[in-house]
Structure 1
């Protein structure tokens, strides 16, 4: 897979998230993909497989945000080399209580044969907990 192809897959994944299209998200992931989020909060951990990624990570995550303010991702930079893609972005939304949410995120994707095999995401977990769970 070329770096350009790998980058295109990650951008398709982000578009599917933006459009809340579970089928399109699934088309970018391997059935046994693994997502890892560091930290000590309710959504920290590792999820393996599309069912866990969608139902135990993505859906619970989206429930933390207001349905009245769009969840947007502004891409600052995408760097791809071979089967690795690094995404630097800013996620913007509002918490369920209405607090503005703006998080700088770096995600590292590993691709295999044209689909995402693994993702690790790095962000300020204290800010995440304070804004979305209302505590430090």
Structure 2
């Protein structure tokens, strides 16, 4: 049996493929991805901060986020597991439209059900993200 930690780490590898069908397969059909309300990525892309369903989450990861971020580089700072929960700390570096750099720290709390991801709660420095994306305070 694959551990929740292995399921989440394998999911990150799948995210990098940008294959929406493969990405959707790592989530339960009713999966939810919850990010902070009004975060810069959601605002810039006119996108929800609460995605529901594997197809919507997969489409965002495979296509939509790449409208804002290119040359994405993710470095894991820590991966911690306890039961069905896996916490991933990471630093994301990317290039914004127009060539400006983006760098922010994230924390994701994954809840695994069986061999798939049921929920993701995303946390980041929203103020820093806003300044990098929009160049001003919220």
- What range is the shorter-chain TM-score in? 0.7 to 0.9
Query: Contact (CA 8 Å) 2:5, 2:86: kept in 1 or not?
Result: yes
Consecutive unaligned residues of structure 2, counting only runs of 5 or more, are none
Shift of 1:64: 0.6
Q: Aligned match of 2:17 in 19, 31, 35? A: 19
Counterpart of 1:92 in structure 2 is 93
**What TM-score results when the alignment is normalised by the length of structure 2?**
0.84
- Measured in 1, the distance between the counterparts of 2:33 and 2:117 equals 10
Report the number of matched residues: 130
Alignment RMSD (CA, Å): 1.8
**What TM-score results when the alignment is normalised by the length of structure 1?**
0.85
After superposing the two structures, state which structure 1 stretch, 27-36 or 45-54, moved more. 45-54
- Please say if 1:63 is aligned against 2:74: no
Counterpart of 2:35 in structure 1 is 37
Structure 1 residue ranges (4+ consecutive) displaced by more than 3 angstroms after TM superposition: none
Counterpart of 2:102 in structure 1 is 101
Consecutive unaligned residues of structure 1, counting only runs of 5 or more, are none
